[in-house]
Structure 1
Amino acid sequence: MIINFRNVASEKVQDCFKSALSAYHELHDYSITLNQKRIKSSTMQAQPVINLKNILTGIKKYQIKLAVFVSSSSELKVRDIPDKVLVGWFAHELGHIKDYVSYSNIGMINYGLKYIVSDSFKMKTEHEADYNAIKKGFKSEILATKEWVLNHDLVGQDYKDKLNKYYLSREEVELCNLNDLPFKPIVE
């Protein structure tokens, strides 16, 4: 695994990230940076690193931006999130990166634009990230993350509403089995 930690002082956070990444064998050849910094509208954001060097060499790199505080809270630090919840959150973000690998840099730019302008595309990608995490064995961690966010008093209602709008519900996650994920389109 090629992991870079930038501004991540907490060993607990680093260990939770490594734990989630260890299940994503297909990502072990890529450089992934966990970068803790201020983020305006989220707690974590998985992104490709697109720059001239990557375009010229074709080498793909990825980063997960990690906020210091849980989105919509000025009191709740990410380092204080329970381990199981943090692993589930990382597993979800790595589920996004798993999807990014198949895209070219131009394809990723198109993907990002669609994510910004299309609610249905955003919902599809968030569901797919959860499915990817569940397929990797993180069903209980994904459930723990949803429960924790939705039930924590210091997490703002706007963030809870976003979770309810775009992500799999608790009930949908509970119905998922590793090899039989519900709610996927059936081709006839």
Structure 2
Amino acid sequence: MKLKDITTSIKNLIFLSSIPISGKVQTNKNNYWQRGSLKVDAVFKDNYLQNFLVPYIQFEDLHACKIRIKTKKLKTTMTARPGFASLFMGKKNRQYIIHVNTDEAFKGVLLANVPEEARIGLFAHELMHIRDYESRKVTGVLKRGLQYLSKNGKRNVEHYTDSLTISAGFGEQLFQWAAYVLYDSEASEDYKAFKSDIYMSPITIYNKMNRLDWNK
């Protein structure tokens, strides 16, 4: 095991021991694991929790947010959205749901096939969506949703979220994610074209990281 991996594991253990244990929560169909305000299903816990905690631990402002992670069939790799009904229950009661695609027939990229560093970059990106939503009132969140109805609006939101991810210190991992999708994955050409059109390219991420370092 590399020193970096050992350090990450120690940080995760410290974090997990610092917040109350809610234990395994039984629902009608699935078992859920919960610590503090973070609640994840058993599939995610067993396969991805350690990687997810790498950025999550760093984003202390999100620890009080009610975040629930579920696995299901999707038309994309992952999504992070506020629970619609919770938007009208006051900000303290707002809930965010992260969905992870498990559809093996998906023509894009499944999380199970993504290298760990790239996976961490994607997790950081999705958490930045939640940070963005948290900074907004209900009307602001709804306006964000309306932006997804157009290609330009969607591109603006995703580029902004990529910028937040880079500023939060996960530019290298985001670069790994973008490069994997476009150059190393077995995703369809249509999926790669969509990603290239809507999200930052690896070279754009690299250049933004350099400018950020230059301005420090």
Fold in common (TM above 0.5): yes
**Structure 2: which amino acid aligns with 1:121?**
G
Structure 1's consecutive aligned runs of 4 or more residues displaced over 6 angstroms after TM superposition are none
**Structure 1: which amino acid aligns with 2:78?**
M
Q: Give the conservation status (yes or no) of the 8 Å contact 2:81–2:97.
A: yes
Q: Give the conservation status (yes or no) of the 8 Å contact 1:62–1:97.
A: yes
Aligned to 1:185: none
Query: What does the per-residue CA deviation read over 1:8-33, in whole Å, with 9 as the maximum and x for residues that have no partner?
Result: 25534111111121122211110111
Matches within 5 A, 1:50-65: 50-51=84-85, 55-58=88-91, 59-65=93-99
Instruction: Select which of 77, 80, 86 maps to 1:46.
Output: 80
Higher helix residue share: 2
Compared with structure 1, are the counterparts of its residues 144 and 104 closer, same or farther at alpha carbon in structure 2 (3 Å cutoff)?
same
SS in 2 for 1:176: helix
Structure 1 residue runs of 5 or longer lacking an equivalent are 183-188
Q: Higher Cα Rg: structure 1 or 2? A: 2
Structure 2 residue runs of 5 or longer lacking an equivalent are 1-35
CA distance in 2, matches of 1:176, 1:128: 12
Q: Number of aligned pairs?
A: 178
Is 1:91 the counterpart of 2:124 in the alignment? yes
Superposition deviation, residue 101 in structure 1: 0.7
Is 1:36 the counterpart of 2:71 in the alignment? yes
Q: Relative contact order (C-alpha < 8 Å, sep 6+): which is higher?
A: 1
Aligned to 1:11: 46
Identity of counterpart residues, as a percentage?
A: 24
CA distance in 1, matches of 2:131, 2:105: 24
Instruction: Select which of 62, 73, 92 maps to 1:27.
Output: 62
Query: What does the per-residue CA deviation read over 1:94-144, in whole Å, with 9 as the maximum and x for residues that have no partner?
Result: 11111111223343223212212x222211110111111111211111111
Superposition deviation, residue 177 in structure 1: 3.1
Compared with structure 1, are the counterparts of its residues 50 and 163 closer, same or farther at alpha carbon in structure 2 (3 Å cutoff)?
same
**Length-normalised TM-score, structure 2:** 0.73
SS in 2 for 1:177: helix
The range that moved more, 78-87 or 142-151, is: 78-87
CA distance in 2, matches of 1:178, 1:35: 35
Q: Give the conservation status (yes or no) of the 8 Å contact 1:4–1:33.
A: yes
